[in-house]
Amino acid sequence: MQSPITGTAAGVPFTALPPSDNGPAPLIVTWHMLDAPRSDAAFAAALPMREVPAWRVHLGMPMCGARMVDGRTDAIVALFQEDPVRLFLGPFVRQAVEEFPAALASIREQLPVGDGPIGVLGGSLGGAVALRVLIGTDVPVFAGALVNAAIRMRSVVDLFPGEYPYDVETEKIVDDLDAVTSADVIAGRAPLLVVSGESDHPALRSDAAELVGAVGERSELLSIPGLAHPLAEEPGIEPAPQSPLAAEVDAGLSAWFRRHLPA
């Protein structure tokens, strides 16, 4: 088993898992959850996709992992308690998407991944990032995948306590982060696997099914019995042994990306 490679790409921390021969291979880029596993290293341990002959590069989300404030998640908690849309959900997705092109260029300089199409994978809020890469960039993608993803940001906001006081600005933020409305763009970009835990939040389950229906024949829904929203135990910051349910997700993702790897 190859050891993880850690580093930074244009300031973005990453954990890279090489193919078995450590040599040139296609690239799959991931963005982790803000639930457990909530760091690039922990996400790599939960979903290593070891059977995929590709470099799997797990990028750190803003203020997570190596970018935590004082090594703790308290700063993130303070942001979503003050304003989950304006200070947390919207800015985190926007920053991750904006820093991706430079991070990708840096990864290509550091690792033998070539310049061909990439795979993209996102879990929970990281799923919103993967979707924005599909919808709003021209980076060539050979296949995409989501796990318990934030497909419609309004559904995520509804998970927070109380009724959120939307205004013009925050309505635009959540509307812009509604991937179902851009299903035709996704369908034209790459095949998409949507993994949904059968014990995930009902609204997120509904959004997953609706996205697959809207994207059409280039998408597939994979339901995982017994899987709730997280993929790992708390605190989910450090790498941990893969759980049986995460192993099921990992197997589904591995089969999907192996099917679509560039020849």
Cα–Cα dist 6/33, whole Å: 18
Q: What is the pLDDT of residue 71?
A: 77
DSSP string, the chain: -PPPEEEEETTEEEEEE--TT-SS--EEEEE--SSSS-SHHHHHHHS--TTSSSEEEEEPPTTSGGG-BTTBSHHHHHHHHH-IIIIIIHHHHHHHHHHHHHHHHHHHHHSS--SS-EEEEEETHHHHHHHHHHHH----EEEEEEES---BHHHHHTTSSS-----HHHHHHHHHTBGGGGHHHHHHH--EEEEEETTS-HHHHHHHHHHHHHH-TTEEEEEETT--S-SS-TT-SS--PPPHHHHHHHHHHHHHHHHH---
Q: What is the pLDDT of residue 3?
A: 85
Q: Which residues contact 238 (CB under 8 A, 6 or more apart)?
A: 39, 41, 42
**Tokens representing residue 186 in the block:** 């996704």
Q: What is the pLDDT of residue 174?
A: 98
Cα–Cα dist 248/255, whole Å: 11
Give per-10-residue mean pLDDT for the chain (263 aa): 90 97 96 97 98 97 90 86 95 97 98 97 98 98 98 97 96 98 98 98 98 98 98 96 98 98 90
- Contact call for residues 177 and 90 (beta carbons, < 8 A): yes
pLDDT single digits (tens) 4-35: 999 999 999 999 999 999 999 999 999 999 99
- Contact call for residues 14 and 104 (beta carbons, < 8 A): no
pLDDT single digits (tens) 199-238: 999 999 999 999 999 999 999 999 999 999 999 999 999 9
End-to-end CA distance of the chain: 24
Angle, CA 50 vertex, CA 46 and CA 52 arms, to 5°? 120
Complete domains list, the chain, with CATH: 5-260 (3.40.50.1820)
Write down the pTM of the prediction: 0.97
Q: What is the pLDDT of residue 1?
A: 61
